[in-house]
Structure formats: C-alpha cells, structure tokens
Amino acid sequence: MSAPDLSVRRFLLPPMHREGRRFVWIAGACALLAAVIWPPLFFVGLLLTYGVFLFFRDPERITPDDPQTLFSPADGIVCLLMQVPIPAVLEAGDRPVWRVSVFMSVLDVHVNRMPIAGTVVKKHYIPGAFLNASLDKASDSNERMLYLTQTPAGQTLAFVQIAGLIARRIVSFVQEGQTLVSGERFGLIRFGSRVDVYLPPGVEPCVHIGQTMVAGETPIARL
C-alpha cells in the first residue's frame, strides 16, 4: 500500500479507545434495527455509528522529551486564562496560580494526557451539574475529577476533568500513588467537556485564549 493510501486510511479509520467499543456496538445494533423498520434508515444509522467511532478515536501522539515543559492535557481550544487558587479539596494551599482551561467540543479527541511526568498524590471525584463547560462557573458547579500530582523535581501540579452539557461520564485510568510519564493517557470525558490545568506557583502560561491545542504535543508553559 502506498504512503498516501495509508494516510487516508489512518484519517478515516484512526485507532479507537477501548472505552468506545460498547457505544459503537450499540449504535451499530440500532442501525440494524432501523433497517428492519425502514431500510433507508440503515444508512442514517451507519453514519451515526461512524460518528460515535470517531468520537472515541485515540490517535497516537509524540510527546517531546522535555522535563521542563508542560503540555496540553487535551485537544481543543483555550477558553479561559486566569489566576485562581487550586481547589481547596486538593489541600495544596490558597495561593493564586495560573489556570489554563482547554475546552473540548464533540468534534475533538476526548482522551486526556499527562501534562508532565509525575506521581498522582491525590485524586478526588465531585458530582455536580452539567453546565456549558466553557463557562468559568463550571469549575465549581459541574461534575469533575480532580488530580494533584508531584513532578520528579518536587513541583506541585493540579488538573481537573470537567463534564459539560453533553458529557455525563468522566473516566479515569489512574490511581493515587501511580507514576506516569509526560503525554501518557490518564482519562477521558464522554461527549464534550473541559480540562483545567493549575500551573505550579510562579509559572506563567505560554498560550492565549482561542489557541488550538493538541494533547501531549502543544506546550502550555515552561517550568
């Protein structure tokens, strides 16, 4: 197979995360059922099934080997930049730090990746509402999973998965005490959401509102 043909195949049929398998099976079954009711509906169901498949796509990413750089944990758009304290439940002090918020639409890849190598010191789940994830108040009101990590250099980094209007299930792949490398998958959020990164004290972001981010590849700050 030629290189262009392989590129097209990877674009149309990218790797899918295992979390999406049952959703694709359900969508496919619904497409077959629709075909029994009225055959033309099968093609509509097939398109919806392909859409579900694309939502759970999990393309490989190449994270640069740079222990001094924080990378985006999510695909999407930087929607908020502000200085706020790390959520109190993580018990990391009340000093304001920069928070970088990356909003993921339903068209973005929803697998989340570690911004930098580190050990998960604390992990905490908070149930909540499902407001528009691009709003500032979603940080305090929506369903969310909070993480506090420590880098090999001893710096503290916090990040939060936030459910959105459509997303109603946060999936975490890691546990407290687990050590991960930069760019490693730590979770996903289904169907539209946001990830907040609380930078270490004294560290400033190198991104701007509206900037497009690629998880595990786009730098958000230098330590």
Residue 190 is predicted with a pLDDT of 76
Portion of the chain with pLDDT greater than 90, in percent: 54
Q: pLDDT tens digits for 62-78?
A: 999 999 999 999 999 99
Q: Is the pLDDT of residue 134 over 90?
A: no
Residue 57 pLDDT level (bands cut at 50, 70, 90): confident
Residue 6: CA atoms inside 13 Å, Cβ hemisphere, count?
3
Ordered by where they begin, the domains of the chain are 3-55 (no CATH), 69-222 (2.70.70)
Average pLDDT, the chain: 88
Question: Predicted confidence band at 10 (pLDDT cuts at 50, 70, 90)?
Answer: low
Q: Answer yes or no: is pLDDT of 135 > 90.
A: no
* pLDDT the model gives residue 168: 61
219 token code pair: 């730098």
Q: pLDDT grade, residue 1 (50/70/90)?
A: very low
Q: What is the pLDDT of residue 78?
A: 97
Q: Is 37 strand, coil or helix?
A: helix
First and final CA of the chain: distance in angstroms?
Answer: 44
Q: How confident is the model at residue 37 (pLDDT cuts 50, 70, 90)?
A: confident
Q: Given this model, what pLDDT does residue 36 score?
A: 85
173-220 pLDDT, tens digit per residue, is 999 999 999 999 999 987 668 999 999 999 999 999 999 999 999 999
Mean pLDDT on 160-172: 80
DSSP E strands: which ranges in the chain? 69-71, 76-85, 96-104, 111-113, 118-126, 144-150, 156-163, 170-172, 179-180, 185-189, 193-198, 212-213, 219-222
Active site positions, annotated:
193
Q: Which residue has the higher pLDDT, 56 or 97?
A: 97
Q: Which residue has the higher pLDDT, 218 or 141?
A: 218
Predicted model pTM: 0.86
Q: Do residues 211 and 58 make contact, with C-beta atoms less than 8 angstroms apart?
A: no
Interhelix angle 41-55/21-37, rounded to 10 degrees, is: 170
